A and B are shown apart, each in its own frame.
Chain A
Amino acid sequence: MKKLICMICFVLVALCLYSQASKIRLAVSGFNDSITRETESLRSGNYLSAGLEKLYAAAAVFQVRESGAIQKYLDNLKSVQLGLTDDLLIKGKADSLLVDYLVFGTVSSIDGMYNVDARVVNIDSWKIVKSYGITSGNLDETVENIRFSLIDNFNQEFITDRESLMNDSPTVAVFMFKDENPAAMKTKFSTVFSEMLNSVLGSFQMINTIERTYTKTLIQEKVLEMVGVAENSSTSRRDVMDIQYRLTGGFRVFKDVITINYKLEKISTGQVVFIGTRDITSSSVLRRVCESISNTIEDVLANRIGTLKLDSDPQGADVFIDNEPMGKTPLLLPVAKGSHNLLIRMDGFETHRSAINIEPQSILDKSIKLAALSRKLLNDAYSLERKGDTEGAIRLYDEFIVKYGDATEVNEALYRKGHLLISLKRYGEAVSTFDSLVKKYPDALTRAEAYFGLAKSYYLMGDIERARATKSFLLERFGETYTAEEARRTFTW
């Protein structure tokens, strides 16, 4: 009989332990209501966290630790974040809490509406496992919605699925958005928006989002503040989490429009992988903008953007992708996936043209050796000019123009060719030659001479009005050049 009782007790204890082990161990942290004074004075944070704690405790799948039991740990985290304590103090302490997940949240009030954002966070990785955010006029309604998302639809099966995706997904941290003009400083948009964005991004399955509360993404330590430069992106600051990307941004508030600027940066290289901007008219669409921005960020991280690492020998060449100027080599650029036309140009070198194919999430590393440009054709053309073989010289200039396309030296060939065409009384062709010079080579030294040639050609064609307009432009823009002096002296019309 005794043996039987012992066995029954053993089975009961085992069953009890098993049922406990299969439960989700969590605690609800106090919701932050200090963003806006209204929610702080109403103690809305306590109201929400206490309400949620009760609901979690009532649900069978959770094993809830009272928030008071982990308060000391949370206080220490807060102290680290404020720069008052070293983070060594909390190393390894999370293991003893008997909790796997913490529920964090914020509540604020803007323009008569409550913004409530709640996140379930893995206590080891500090990654958001599930989140929910709502903007509503009624706090009780928000509790009901949070319950549906973070309690009724949050179970072991969900966690297994969600966490299985985490290893292969990029990790993003939403840093505090800044108030970038005086009008923005009078609002609470930036702080509220950062919290909203954290929650919305946290609901995306293909992205790992780091919880902001008690991590250095909030940057609340005693850190000196620079002005006019994104100071919360300093790589010298120790980040506590394994964050690959940071999302930063700012608000500028104008009389009738609010501009939200944001950028996604790769932490290891400091490379900005995406920059975006949105205009809105009121705070009522903040959450929708968060959803839209989160979609963009997912696109960027999942499948849209690759990187081009480009160098040239010699360095300092101008780079164009699909005819858009991108800067000078060496360059590290985010480029949309797919095929693009690459053009590299430098004085004294042949222009490089090639097609490149950018793969998402990968780096295309290219180094281009630029071939020195041969001036033989040009010199031969000069020599024919001197010998009076105008047609022959024009032919060689054309050959040079075709062969070297966009090279800077082509402006010399165009300039000489234009003047030779005038001497042959082929004024129409001269006009188009000078015109392509000024359009294609706005920085060329021959530009003033080209306008001189243009004015002369128009005059000789009988188009006096255009000739005068071009002459005045030349005198106005290049008034101090020898060419302008020549125009004043010879163009008496």
Chain B
Amino acid sequence: MRKLTAAVIAVLLFQLIISCKKSDAELREKALRADQAVTEKSEINKEIRLLQEQLKNAADDYQRSQLYSKIAGLYSEKGDTMSTMKNAREAIKYQPNEYYSRYLLGKAYLDAGRYGEAEIELLTSVDLKNDFSLSHFELGNVYYKKLKYPDAISQYKLAVRFDEQCYQAYNNLGVLYSLTGKGRDAETILKKGISIRPDFPVYYKNLGIVYDSILKKPKDAAENYAKYLELRPDCPERKSVEAWLDILGGKR
């Protein structure tokens, strides 16, 4: 009898443990779902929902395409690659000659590692609007990923030609000049970038590395590392940059 009671208690305890574990996991999932529900009310998500509602009453294909393109743009701003891809594709379906939707689709393909398709879409985008700087910039990124450095350099140059303020292109040009052994050119273009956007920290880190590792100018390297830390004191690699700076004898 005692054995039976003990066995029943053991089974009940076991079930209790299982149910506790389950309810704990369920509670966590429930909390996550509740948090997700709140995110639906955020401005950017509300804007997306509004555009999706407008799609239902779109007067014609042109309007439909514009709405899909706007939705794709918002998803791209959020970094949601798959949703960007889906909506940009829809926009193109209704308006194949829209350079911006092609650009968004190309950028999404690039983010998804589908470089061949990214190249096709971005080339179509620049065919449709040759002076759209961002398409050239993303095309440069595609060529960089495909290790076609000269092509990437050409595209970044076009990006800054059509938009002098395309500060990211100056940085990437600087990196590519370094990778192709042109330390002086890298220095020049990164400095040009700094003159346009002096508060962009990555220039200083990269310039520091160029001085430190390629041009062997420790004093200039230290100055740039210090400036990087000044602009981005809580960067994830803070300890590393501090260590590089210490070796160069620089002041933080």
Listed in ascending order, the chain A residues whose CB lies under 8 Å from chain B are: 34-35, 37, 81-82, 84, 176, 179-180, 185-186, 188, 190-191, 220-230, 236, 250, 252, 254-257, 259, 261, 263, 265, 270-272, 275, 277-282, 285, 288-289, 291-292, 325, 327-328, 438, 442-443, 473, 476-477
Once the chains bind, are B28 and A228 in contact (CB under 8 Å)?
Answer: no
Q: Could you show 24 A-B contacts with beta carbons less than 8 Å apart?
A: A35-B236, A82-B243, A222-B213, A224-B174, A225-B202, A226-B141, A226-B172, A252-B78, A256-B43, A257-B45, A259-B80, A261-B79, A263-B81, A263-B112, A275-B112, A281-B42, A285-B32, A285-B35, A288-B31, A289-B32, A291-B28, A327-B109, A328-B120, A443-B96
Instruction: Give Cα A186–Cα B232 distance, bound, in whole angstroms.
Output: 8
Instruction: Give Cα A191–Cα B42 distance, bound, in whole angstroms.
Output: 24
Surface stretch bound by A, among B49-57, B123-131, B204-212: B204-212
- Residue B179 is within 8 A (CB to CB) of chain A in the complex: yes
Query: Which chain A residue has the least Cβ–Cβ distance from B60?
Result: A473
Once the chains bind, are A82 and B236 in contact (CB under 8 Å)?
Answer: no
Query: Which chain A residue has the least Cβ–Cβ distance from B117?
Result: A327
Q: Which 3 A-B pairs have the closest CB atoms?
A: A257-B42, A279-B39, A272-B113
Contacts A34-B239, A327-B114, A328-B120; is A225 near B79 (CB within 8 Å)? no
Once the chains bind, are B28 and A82 in contact (CB under 8 Å)?
Answer: no
Instruction: Give Cα A229–Cα B71 distance, bound, in whole angstroms.
Output: 22
Chain A residues with Cβ below 8 Å from B220 are: none
Once the chains bind, are B206 and A188 in contact (CB under 8 Å)?
Answer: no
Q: Which of B194-252 contact A (CB under 8 A)?
A: 202, 205-206, 209-210, 212-213, 232, 234-240, 243-244, 247
Once the chains bind, are A442 and B61 in contact (CB under 8 Å)?
Answer: yes
Once the chains bind, are B141 and A281 in contact (CB under 8 Å)?
Answer: no
What sequence of 0s and 1s flags, for each residue 103-114 of chain B, a beta carbon within 8 Å of any chain A beta carbon?
000000111111
Chain A residues with Cβ below 8 Å from B58 are: none
Chain B residues with Cβ below 8 Å from A223 are: 209
Chain B residues with Cβ below 8 Å from A190 are: 236
What sequence of 0s and 1s flags, for each residue 165-176 of chain B, a beta carbon within 8 Å of any chain A beta carbon?
000100110110
Query: Which chain B residue has the least Cβ–Cβ distance from A333?
Result: B114
The residue that B117 contacts in the complex, of A227, A265, A280, A328, with Cβ under 8 A, is A328
Once the chains bind, are A37 and B61 in contact (CB under 8 Å)?
Answer: no
Instruction: Give Cα A477–Cα B98 distance, bound, in whole angstroms.
Output: 13
Once the chains bind, are A225 and B45 in contact (CB under 8 Å)?
Answer: no
Instruction: Give Cα A280–Cα B43 distance, bound, in whole angstroms.
Output: 13
Residue of A179, A186, A275 with most partner-chain B CB within 10 A: A275
Distance of A131 from chain B, by nearest CB (Å): 18
- Residue B138 is within 8 A (CB to CB) of chain A in the complex: yes
- Residue B162 is within 8 A (CB to CB) of chain A in the complex: no
Chain B residues with Cβ below 8 Å from A220 are: 237, 239-240
Once the chains bind, are A176 and B236 in contact (CB under 8 Å)?
Answer: yes
With A35-B236, A191-B236, A272-B112 given, can you name 13 additional A-B contacts, CB distance below 8 Å?
A82-B240, A179-B236, A185-B232, A220-B239, A224-B179, A229-B172, A230-B111, A256-B42, A257-B44, A257-B45, A279-B45, A281-B39, A327-B109
Distance of A245 from chain B, by nearest CB (Å): 13
Once the chains bind, are A227 and B172 in contact (CB under 8 Å)?
Answer: yes
Instruction: Give Cα A187–Cα B220 distance, bound, in whole angstroms.
Output: 29
- Residue B62 is within 8 A (CB to CB) of chain A in the complex: yes
Once the chains bind, are B60 and A285 in contact (CB under 8 Å)?
Answer: no
Once the chains bind, are A227 and B113 in contact (CB under 8 Å)?
Answer: no
Query: Which chain B residue has the least Cβ–Cβ distance from A227?
Result: B168
Query: Which chain B residue has the least Cβ–Cβ distance from A292?
Result: B32
Instruction: Give Cα A162–Cα B125 distance, bound, in whole angstroms.
Output: 51
Once the chains bind, are A271 and B202 in contact (CB under 8 Å)?
Answer: no
Distance of A266 from chain B, by nearest CB (Å): 10
Distance of B34 from chain A, by nearest CB (Å): 9
Query: Which chain A residue has the least Cβ–Cβ distance from B186?
Result: A224
- Residue B145 is within 8 A (CB to CB) of chain A in the complex: yes
Once the chains bind, are B178 and A224 in contact (CB under 8 Å)?
Answer: yes
Query: Which chain B residue has the least Cβ–Cβ distance from A281?
Result: B38
Chain B residues with Cβ below 8 Å from A228 are: 137-138, 141, 168, 172
Query: Which chain A residue has the least Cβ–Cβ distance from B233?
Result: A37
Distance of B130 from chain A, by nearest CB (Å): 20
Instruction: Give Cα A288–Cα B35 distance, bound, in whole angstroms.
Output: 11
Instruction: Give Cα A190–Cα B141 distance, bound, in whole angstroms.
Output: 23
Chain A residues with Cβ below 8 Å from B141 are: 226, 228-229
Chain B residues with Cβ below 8 Å from A221 are: 240
The residue that A277 contacts in the complex, of B35, B62, B83, B236, with Cβ under 8 A, is B83
Once the chains bind, are A442 and B93 in contact (CB under 8 Å)?
Answer: yes
Once the chains bind, are A229 and B145 in contact (CB under 8 Å)?
Answer: yes
Once the chains bind, are A277 and B78 in contact (CB under 8 Å)?
Answer: yes
- Residue B36 is within 8 A (CB to CB) of chain A in the complex: yes
Chain B residues with Cβ below 8 Å from A230 are: 111
Contacts A225-B202, A254-B44, A285-B35; is A271 near B237 (CB within 8 Å)? no
Chain B residues with Cβ below 8 Å from A254 are: 42-44, 78
Distance of A5 from chain B, by nearest CB (Å): 50
Query: Which chain A residue has the least Cβ–Cβ distance from B237?
Result: A220
Query: Which chain A residue has the least Cβ–Cβ distance from B83?
Result: A277
Distance of A178 from chain B, by nearest CB (Å): 9
Once the chains bind, are A279 and B36 in contact (CB under 8 Å)?
Answer: yes
What sequence of 0s and 1s flags, for each residue 74-101 of chain B, a beta carbon within 8 Å of any chain A beta carbon?
0001111111000001000110100000
Instruction: Give Cα A365–Cα B41 distance, bound, in whole angstroms.
Output: 44
Residue of B29, B213, B240 with most partner-chain A CB within 10 A: B240
Instruction: Give Cα A280–Cα B39 distance, bound, in whole angstroms.
Output: 6
